Amino acid sequence: MQKAYFLFWILCLAVSKPAWALGYLGGNGDGFAVGRYTTQDVMLIGSTTQTFAVGDSATAISTIEIIQDLAASGTGITTANDIRVKIPVALNMIFDNTDTTATITGGASAKVSTTVSYEDTNATLVIDVTSAFADADVIYVSGLSFKSFNTSGTGRLQLETDNAGSNNAVDDNYKYILLGSLTAAAFYGGNGDGFAAYSFQTQQDGVLFGNGF
């Protein structure tokens, strides 16, 4: 009897916790890196992979898709908290704050304003929500730009819908800032160190090439 009661208690604990799902977030084809995310009050953000070079001029963003999915519990996307799309610290670029009007389409486009603003020294795009989203509501955001590609880096856009400083979702594709221009460094070493004759290394688009190593 005690054993049966204990099992019932464990089962109650199990069903009272939020539902979780596994997402495989590893590199191409490795199938190993696994992320965990809640299947309740889930927000999704997606855009295509983009590659920039250090020193590039302002470049149009690829269309950003934002979905409220399976919001069985929680507040979802609301007028109180709006939508924030954030550039991670690892990506040394910002949004072009001269772009104050976005192109927004999708089934929920009437629930947001096309007039946008920016926070965090233009690293965060703020989209004003005028009506709360429902399950499966989606918007597509374009007509904006990135700029100030100062150093190389890699990262994924982040989505915040609770205005609490935490991320509710992360883009499934990466943005890359590469060195871009061709550079070369020559090494003239001393006798016996392996570099005495001549060696050089070039870097283009973030890929290293060598000769004489």
Q: What is the rounded distance in angstroms from the CA atom of residue 98 to the CA atom of residue 96? A: 5
Q: Which helix (H) or strand (E) holds 113?
A: strand 112-119
In a domain, 1, yes or no: no
Q: Which domain holds residue 198?
A: 182-213
- Shared domain check, 158 and 115: yes
Same-domain status, 170 and 187: no
Q: What is the CATH number of the domain that holds 117?
A: 2.60.40.1510
Residues 118 and 52 in one domain: yes
| SS3 per-residue string spanning 148-202 | CCCCCEEECCEEECCCCCCCCEECCCCEEEECCCCEEEEECCCCCCCCCCCEEEE
Euclidean distance between CA atoms 165 and 158, whole angstroms = 11
Other beta carbons within 10 angstroms of residue 118's beta carbon come to: 18
Does residue 124 share a domain with residue 159?
yes
- pLDDT for residue 126: 98
154 and 69 co-located in one domain: yes
**In terms of domains, do 76 and 58 share one?**
yes
Q: How many domains does the chain have?
A: 2
CA 14/CA 123 separation, integer angstroms: 40
**Residue 80: CB partners within 8 Å, gap ≥ 6?**
163
Question: Is residue 76 in some structural domain?
Answer: yes
The number of beta carbons lying within 10 Å of the beta carbon of residue 33 is: 10
Distance CA 171, CA 55 (A): 24
Residues 125 and 210 in one domain: no
Confirm whether 131 is domain-assigned: yes
Is there a single domain that holds both residue 61 and residue 154? yes
195 near 187, Cβ under 8 Å?
yes
Question: Of the candidates 26, 51, 31, which has an alpha carbon nearest to the alpha carbon of residue 207?
Answer: 51
- Domain shared by 173 and 186, yes or no: no
Q: Using an 8 Å Cβ cutoff, are 93 and 155 in contact?
A: no
**Residue 31: DSSP 8-state:** -
**Rounded Cα gap, residues 147 and 106, in angstroms:** 26
What is the layout of strands, in order, in the sheet containing 94-95?
59-60, 145-147, 94-95
Same domain, 95 and 151: yes
Both 161 and 56 in one domain: the answer is yes
Q: Are residues 201 and 96 in the same domain?
A: no
pLDDT at 17: 34
Please give the chain's pLDDT, 213 residues, in tens.
544 444 433 333 333 333 334 444 445 555 544 443 333 356 788 899 999 999 999 999 999 999 997 644 457 899 999 999 999 999 999 999 999 999 999 999 999 999 999 999 999 999 999 999 988 899 999 999 999 999 999 999 999 999 988 898 999 899 999 997 545 445 556 666 655 544 444 444 444 333 343
* Contact predicate 176/150, CB 8 Å: no
| Cα 18 from Cα 16, distance rounded (Å) | 7
